[in-house]
Amino acid sequence: MLKRAELSKSPPKANSANFLKIVDSALAATTAPSFKSLLFDRSRSLKELPAVETCVMTDRRRINGPPGGTRPPVFSSATVTTAERPQRQRQPNELRKIFLKTGLIPSASGSSYLEFEPSASLSAARASPKFITPPSSSLKLACTVHGPKPLPRSATFSPNLVLTTHVKYAPFAARKRKGHIRDASERDLGVHLETALRGVIVAERWPKSGLDITITILEAEDDRWWGDAPDSHDAAWGMMNVLAGCITAASAAISDARIDCLDLVAGGVAAVVADETPDGTAARLMLDTDPAEHQSILSACVVAYMPARDEITELWLKGDNSKAAVGTTDQNLSHEALIDGAVDAARGAHSVLAEAVRESAMRFAGLSSGTA
């Protein structure tokens, strides 16, 4: 807030020479620390530029908004109070429908598009919109696979296929506008995805080659219901659903690119949620949770699972469910139960995945017979 106020004092359209002059005067007055850092970075050589400076530099290649910055809209509380938290209409072990299609991007060697079925509240809101703020959102992402292709000359020798994963949110994917440069959570997703897939691909079949997997998230899952205040114990729960979707979509795209795999790996999410019911708070295990539908999520788990081999290539467990487990002495809320739940969810996703891959294979067979 302070920074913005300071920035707004400078004329926005100053050219570089002018700008530096203003910065100098600002420095003399020693009122603007933000300017000081800017000037400091500029005088440095290109090699030792910190991350902040690269932001500034890449932003020059984009069209930037107003220099003073903009604020996301704030909605009046008069109408917000009438909005209600969306309710989960599914059974605890019922998954959302998944739409998965391969081969939508012809220039890539493999591609897939994945979409979760909108939850009941969202589809109701779509049908007869009352509020501008949607109650929840459903995952939509596109995945492309380029390769296997030769590694660049500069790369060192690798006896295996070198896997590169890249996950990026579209700027309009989340409730809050995302930047153009990958942030920490997006890098994190990329690393998780890479571990999930590395165990599946038979990498030694392609020495000295690389495989690029790129995922663009067009619409992400919410981390919590928008009406809830940000809580100290809430985490990026939506990210786990996104990761599960990424794993399933990437698996379909890799098979679409005809890369040898051990099995079709599918992603699944389960969570222990605590919702307030008329008779107190009850912790329950749910599959494929939409974070917007629950008051609080105690812990969640996402797995990348290969059903045919009964192996897990990636496991990510977040949160603390010890309290819930102790309170009820219920074995159904232990970590093992949570992981089993996630595996069940992955099994469900696998059936959709197998269907999509079959479709892709049919298309390939048709194509090859057509040209031969």
Partner 1 sequence: MASTTAAAASQPAAPSLALPPSQFARLQPHAYLLAHLSPPASSQQPSIRANGRAPSQFRVTSANTGSLTHTNGSAVVRVGDTTAVCGVKAEILHTEDIASWSVSHSSSSPSNKRRKLTNPTEKPGEDREDGSKDDEDDDNSYIEDFSLLVPNLSLSTGCAPGFIPGAPPSALAQSLSHQILSLLHSSRLVRAEDLEIWYQRPNFGAEELERHNEGEQMDVDAGPEAEEANLEAREIKAFWVLYIDIMIISLAGNPFDAAWTAVLAALRDTKLPRAWWDVDNETVVCSDLVSEARKLSLRGLPVASSFGVFEADAAAGWRAVVIPDAEEERKLAESERKGIQRRWILADPDGYEEGLTQERVSLVVDKTSNGKVKLLKMEKNGGFAVDRKELKDLVDISARRWDDINQILQRC
Task: Give residues 6-65 in contact with partner 1 (rule: CB under 8 A).
Answer: 7-13, 57-58, 61-65
Selected binder of partner 1 within 2, 28, 46, 74 (CB under 8 A): 74
Pick between residue 175 and residue 335 the one whose CB is nearest to partner 1. Answer: 175
Selected binder of partner 1 within 180, 309, 358, 363 (CB under 8 A): 180
CB 91 within 8 A of CB 238: no
CB 254 within 8 A of CB 261: yes
Selected binder of partner 1 within 170, 236, 262, 315 (CB under 8 A): 170
CB of 155 to partner 1, least distance (A): 14
CB of 36 to partner 1, least distance (A): 18
Does position 363 bind partner 1 by CB under 8 A?
no
Contact window for partner 1 (CB under 8 A) among 88-96, 211-219, 231-239, 303-311? 211-219
Does position 151 bind partner 1 by CB under 8 A?
no
The angle that helices 16-29 and 33-43 make with each other, rounded to 10 degrees, is 130
How many residues in the chain?
Answer: 372
Assigned token pair, 249: 């979509």
Residue 236 and residue 251: Cα distance in Å, rounded? 23
CB 167 within 8 A of CB 243: no
Question: Each residue of 45-63: b (16+ CB within 10 Å) or e?
Answer: eeeeeeeebeeeeeeeeee
Q: Return the residues of window 126-145 that contact partner 1 according to CB under 8 A.
A: 129-134, 136-138, 140, 142-145
CB of 131 to partner 1, least distance (A): 5
Residue 141 and residue 242: Cα distance in Å, rounded? 9
Does position 101 bind partner 1 by CB under 8 A?
no
Does position 153 bind partner 1 by CB under 8 A?
no
Binding mask 215-254 for partner 1 (x = CB under 8 A): xx-xxx----------------------------------
Geometric angle at alpha carbon 129, from 126 and 131, rounded to 5°:
120
Q: What SS3 class is residue 141?
A: strand
Assigned token pair, 325: 């487990």
Does position 3 bind partner 1 by CB under 8 A?
no
